Amino acid sequence: MHSGSVARIHLNRMKQNLTWLQSRSGTDKVIAVIKANAYGHGDVEVGRYLEPHVHSFAVATVGEGVHLREAGIRCPILVFGPPSSDGSALMKRYSLTATLSTHDHFDRLLPGMTYQINFDTGMRRAGFSPAEAEDVLEQIRNHQGNRCTGIYSHFATADDPGSDFVKEQHRRFRTVRALFPAEIPAHMCNTAAVVHYNPEPFDMIRVGIGLAGYTPGQVQDDHLKPVLEWESHVALVRRVLKGEGVSYGNWWRAPHDGWLATIPAGYADGVPRALNGKFQVAIEGRLWPVVGSITMDFCMVWLGDSVVAEGSTVGLMGGPESWRADRWAAEAGTITHEILCRLTERVERVYSR
């Protein structure tokens, strides 16, 4: 399955990131968001490592929750996605916590299921309106065969350190929280809110990308350390002549006679074609440009007059000399989350503690 590149996951750095986020927010209770294969880091391995240190986990789908349960994860797991009739049976079987966002969702609960309530304070993606809080409380009282284990909301603009809307959303949720009994915990703060605003965290925080060592948005915090280092190797070194085209389309041509290295990492591994003509990799302590079109399985590096040995280590992401994932995102016109989630199963994950 593996294509010749390795993602080295430094779990000790993830624990350091967790500790700093706890200290910054003033609460030890953390919901670790490990959806999308823990943002490409490996949900099972990350889950097993973090389980003793967090309150619970959150995932996007029932299938992700089932995968963690079958791997031996026992702490609470919140499913963000809306419940379905078929999904409810699985959630009950595997002791997963449902998210309810409409009154109809109460009807999909099976006896004995746990659930949390999502309130839409401005994200406009899912959730009850704050104006429905009293009606939701009545629904909770009418479903004594189930247990509400939390209420939550989600910031829409916390990745912008100067957004007034963060304060407005926080105010709206604070109003909702005041209506609910204290024994039902509340959470709203994500990584961006903790780092950029650090408002009242309610009863716990809910962080994902921060555990991976990154802050959403343009402003990064030096306290968070990237967990993942992606390496490959030089598979081939070839001589090219001035004017010869390289890769699909031949839109890049050698400016003079020189050397070209072929690296076994392409868009099927997670290198986006949006980095065509913009990307640099680290070989032997310096950065070299990737030239020509990034292909499914390979990318090519222009060495100019220099030559490197076949088999030399190539730093693609997160290493001492290589670009961080946020630099990838900036050059590709996307966000760090997407870059990390792009890493496919062809990239071998190797874990250290």
> Phi/psi at 114 (nearest 5 deg)?
-100, 155
**Counting every residue, how long is the chain?**
353
Kindly name the residue from 35, 49, 152, 267 that is annotated as catalytic. 35
Q: How far apart are CA 343 and CA 41, in angstroms?
A: 9
> Phi/psi at 317 (nearest 5 deg)?
-155, 135
Q: Which domains does the chain have, with CATH numbers?
A: 11-207 (3.20.20.10), 228-352 (2.40.37.10)
pTM of the full predicted structure?
0.96
Which residues are within 8 A (CB) of 74 and not within 5 positions of it... i.e. 6 or more apart? 51
- The pLDDT confidence band at residue 1, using thresholds 50, 70 and 90, is confident
- The pLDDT confidence band at residue 3, using thresholds 50, 70 and 90, is confident
C-alpha to C-alpha distances, 23 to 193, 224, 280, nearest whole angstrom: 14, 12, 35
Instruction: Return the structure tokens found at 50.
Output: 């973090």
Q: How far apart are CA 13 and CA 20, in angstroms?
A: 11
* Per-residue pLDDT tens over the stretch 263-274: 999 999 999 999
Kindly name the residue from 225, 248, 278, 351 that is annotated as catalytic. 248
Instruction: Return the structure tokens found at 311.
Output: 């088999």
Report which of 1, 3, 38, 37 is spatially closest to residue 18, judged by C-alpha positions: 38
Q: Catalytic residue at 248?
A: yes
- Mean per-residue pLDDT of the chain: 97
Q: How far apart are CA 236 and CA 223, in angstroms?
A: 38
* Per-residue pLDDT tens over the stretch 334-344: 999 999 999 99
pLDDT at 2: 84
- The pLDDT confidence band at residue 21, using thresholds 50, 70 and 90, is very high
Percent of the chain exceeding pLDDT 70 equals 100
* Per-residue pLDDT tens over the stretch 42-86: 999 999 999 999 999 999 999 999 999 999 999 999 999 999 988
pLDDT at 122: 97
For residues 127-146, average pLDDT = 98
* Per-residue pLDDT tens over the stretch 275-334: 999 999 999 999 999 999 999 999 999 999 999 999 999 999 999 999 999 999 999 999
